Chains A and B, each alone.
Chain A
Amino acid sequence: DGGITQSPKYLFRKEGQNVTLSCEQNLNHDAMYWYRQDPGQGLRLIYYSQIVNDFQKGDIAEGYSVSREKKESFPLTVTSAQKNPTAFYLCASSPSGIYDTQYFGPGTRLTVL
């Protein structure tokens, strides 16, 4: 089955710890994205990458970092600098760029205690 996998589904961390969220796709898509979804806020773009070894900041990149060393993988690190990290995180991919239809993963719910 082609698709996007995010793991784990639920993640708990103590305040002050960095945590990395996994996102893998086997759709052979060039572009990948990370969003944050908060109740009543819709989706807000954190980072996106249109090609391997390149990525751009979205609207709320502060306190987050990403890497894109492989086409199929786009991990997101939530650092201790992120002031309000508890949220639902969605990963997506699209065939070639931000104008394309995006395909979303199941999401990871991060709770920082």
Chain B
Amino acid sequence: AQSVSQHNHHVILSEAASLELGCNYSYGGTVNLFWYVQYPGQHLQLLLKYFSGDPLVKGIKGFEAEFIKSKFSFNLRKPSVQWSDTAEYFCAVVNRDDKIIFGKGTRLHILP
């Protein structure tokens, strides 16, 4: 079965630390890739997405992600996190069979 794996379920960092959240998927064909974020008390919202072209995509609030096709990965990065980045982060993959699969999420807690 196709799957999306987010390896880190819970991450705790101090402010100004660098962040990388892993996302790997199992589908071998063309995919669309998303990172969504849910801040405390807010709706789930798009952070960034990749459809085609430059594999390094930039999103809101200084986040970026790199699509590495050979590794089936779409890791999320931020060079210096802030307390306001505390949230739950979800990776999602849409394949050409019209199937969307979300990862189980990573809870990020930033210490002030």
Q: Nearest chain A CB to B96's CB is how many angstroms away?
A: 9
Cα distance A99–B50 when bound, in Å? 10
Cα distance A9–B103 when bound, in Å? 24
Size of chain B's interface in residues, with CB distance under 8 A?
22
Tell which of B34, B44, B45, B51 has the most Cβ of chain A within 10 Å: B44
Q: Helix, strand, loop or mixed for chain B's interface?
A: strand
Cα distance A99–B94 when bound, in Å? 6
- Contact check: which of B43, B94, B105 meets A42 at CB < 8 Å? B105
Which residue numbers of B lie inside 8 Å of A, CB to CB? 4, 6, 9, 32, 34, 36, 43-46, 49, 51, 90, 92, 94, 98, 100-105
Which residue numbers of A lie inside 8 Å of B, CB to CB? 4, 35, 40-45, 56, 59, 90, 92, 97-99, 101-106
Q: Nearest 3 A-B pairs (CB), nearest first?
A: A42-B104, A104-B44, A43-B102
